[in-house]
A and B are shown apart, each in its own frame.
Chain A
Amino acid sequence: MANNVRDLKEALTARSQTATLEELQSRGRRSVRVIRADDVAQMIEASVSQAIARSGMMSPQEVEELEAKSREQFQLLLERRQAEIAELRQAADELRGAQEALGAAEAERDQAVGGLEKVRGHVDELLGRIDDLETQRDEAVQRLRKSEVEREELASALQGLDGQRSQARHEATMAQAEVAKMRAERDEAVAHAHVLEQQLAKAQRESSTTVAGGVNADMVYRLMSEIAELRARTAAAPAPQQNDKATADALAGALQQLTSTFTAKLDSLGRKMGVSSAVEADAPSLTGLFKHQDGVKLESNMDNVSVKAKTGTGIAANLERLKKLKGGG
């Protein structure tokens, strides 16, 4: 009997095959029928016991011993199968874990691919901006070149102005020399005219107190010649007329006019150069300009704000020096 049971188990083992869950899934089996090992053992045990009892080949005691032995054997087999099942379950768990890990990895890969696409887009954007910046840089370079040209033009213009200024300064120097020359000529002309006037007056006095033939014609001729020469020198007086008193008066007037013109011109030039022959009057008092505002009180918050103030070194040393210079220290 025991051999039959063993044979049966062996037969079961021999005719059965171990299939992993993955293999079952690959065959399209989503579920399998299972039977507990105890039930199989009981069924085998029962069938064996019934067969033995019906055969009458063994005593009840032998049957019990055989059953105990068979149970023990079966238990051993059962444990082995349970161990195998546990291994299969563990393998299935590991497989499930691997699948989940694979899913997670695939998700990460998808995410990474998405990030990569974003980075690629960003890179494209940056490349676009670089293009823009290069365009702006080129424009800035153009502007810079243009401003440099403008600066050079400005510098050139300034140089031109410097040249004009130098020319103007040169002309001013020449004008100063001309003024000095004119002033000297004027002074000489005035002095000479004064002498001539005196001599003419004297000659006229003499002519009025003597007979016509007694007039010193040579002297009058000489005086008039000098006057004519003076006219020619000044080039501003009228041409000499007849040698009479009217001519002398006209000459004196012309000289006076010439002198006045020279003086006015010299004063004008002198004022521009900081030199004036005029006598300065007292400075005018302008306090009257403010008498209309004295009673006006403007609305303001100036009394409520302070002004910027800073401190500095004293002036004692300056005052001491000044006192020494003035002989008071």
Chain B
Amino acid sequence: MSDNNDNDRFGHTPTTPHGAHEGVSTEVALGKGLDIGTANLAAAVQNSEGGITVTVERNAFLDINADVYSKNMLTKLKVPYVVHNSKLVVVGEAAFELANVFGKDTRRPMADGLISPNESDALPIMKMIISKILGEPRAAGEPCYFCVPAESIDVDNNVVYHQGLFEGIIGKMGYTARAINEAHAVVFSELAENDFTGIGLSFGGGMANACIAYKSIPCVSFSVARGGDWIDKNVAQVLGVKRSKATFIKERGVDIRDPKNREEEAVAIYYRNLISYVLQNIKARFESGQNMPNFAEPVDIACAGGTSMVGGFIEVFRDEFSKIDFPLPVGRIFRSEDALTAVARGCLVAAAIGE
């Protein structure tokens, strides 16, 4: 999203963390947080200034013909690539940009929040990206909490395989891998002031995850297999463009309250539909009464995830929320100040506390 393009393509070494005390060196607990998202990979770690540093890379790649000229050019431009199966594979944000230039679609290692069975070649590449953003463990067996989606209520999916796969990958890197529910991580990140009680929502690329927590304990977690990719797919269909192009349209600074043209209108329509769909499902789960806690006080709803970063998201969310008779008193509805990295930050909190 545009909010996150304030760094160079390949970033730079951070100096002063926002909100941290300059020059104050604090003891840094071991532990790292990793958000394995369909669209983006993000790793969070505490830095020596008391803040956190988050490294982000787009979870996508694009293979091009491997020739000496291309390889030299990519090397000179410092575009990250991997040579795999005699192909030159451009990875991360650069792949997304190249795909848009060439009018192609990027290849995606994950789909609908889980590792994609259609992209078996992607695993070694994804492993390299994770290794790059996570770095080496600072001590043998350093805890690394990574997020996994909850089981979906609208499709059959295999979260166990997904979780085991990444436990294996991260474990091989020298970490002690622990899985945490994605929306639970949002609760850890955003609902500290509420004693970690409330509803955490993560709107990711492949899924929307929900977690209702009481004093940090997850009562109910579930997901729906719709997210930013679902919007992209539908926008691409109605506009007759590639998905990468639809993603570009979505991320170039649309305000879904006030679409300016036909393309933005399509994005706004599907965004509103996604939000309504998620809210209806949360409501239905509450109304089913299964394992649902009773809250005496109104609870807050925290939204996070890259898909929530579009302009006007929280206003449309509130608008759609007002249309349903939600079976629970709700206080604030807000979006994380840094929605893209909130899940990684929540994973980091869990890792630091040993949750």
Chain A residues close to B by CB (< 8 Å)? 147, 151, 154-155, 158, 162, 165, 169, 172, 176, 272-275, 283-287, 289-290, 293-294, 296, 298-302, 304-319, 321-323, 325-326
Contacts and interface: CB of A to CB of B under 8 A. Distances in A.
A298 B124 contact: yes
Nearest to A308: B11
A306 B11 contact: yes
Nearest to B161: A286
Which of A155, A165, A311, A317: most chain B Cβ within 10 A? A311
A307 B40 CA distance: 12
A323 B216 CA distance: 11
A294 to B, nearest CB: 7
Contacts of B151: 274
Contact of B164 (A176, A286, A318, A323): A286
Nearest to A280: B160
A285 to B, nearest CB: 7
Given A298-B128, A309-B53, A158 B20 contact: no
A152 to B, nearest CB: 12
6 A-B pairs with the lowest CB-CB distances in the bound complex, closest first? A313-B19, A286-B164, A308-B11, A311-B17, A299-B83, A311-B14
Contacts of B14: 309-311
A308 B57 contact: yes
B352 A310 contact: no
A315 B54 contact: no
B16 interface: yes
A305 B220 CA distance: 41
A273 B189 CA distance: 28
A311 B341 CA distance: 10
A290 to B, nearest CB: 5
A311 B54 contact: yes
Interface in B154-199: 160-161, 163-165, 167-169, 171-172, 188-189, 192-193, 195-196
Interface of B: 4, 6-14, 16-20, 26, 29, 44, 46-47, 50-57, 74-75, 78-84, 91-93, 123-125, 127-129, 132-133, 151, 153, 160-161, 163-165, 167-169, 171-172, 188-189, 192-193, 195-196, 215-216, 220, 222, 238, 262, 265, 269, 273, 276-277, 280, 284, 288, 290, 338, 341, 345, 348-349, 352-353, 355
Contact of A318 (B160, B188, B238): B188
A313 B56 contact: no
A325 B273 contact: no
B10 A306 contact: yes
B288 A273 contact: yes
A319 B262 contact: no
Contact of B10 (A165, A298, A308, A316): A308
Contacts of B50: 314, 316
A310 B55 CA distance: 6
Given A321-B196, A326-B353, 11 more contacts: A169-B280, A273-B288, A274-B151, A286-B161, A286-B164, A298-B84, A300-B82, A307-B10, A307-B133, A309-B53, A309-B56
Contacts of A325: 195-196, 215-216
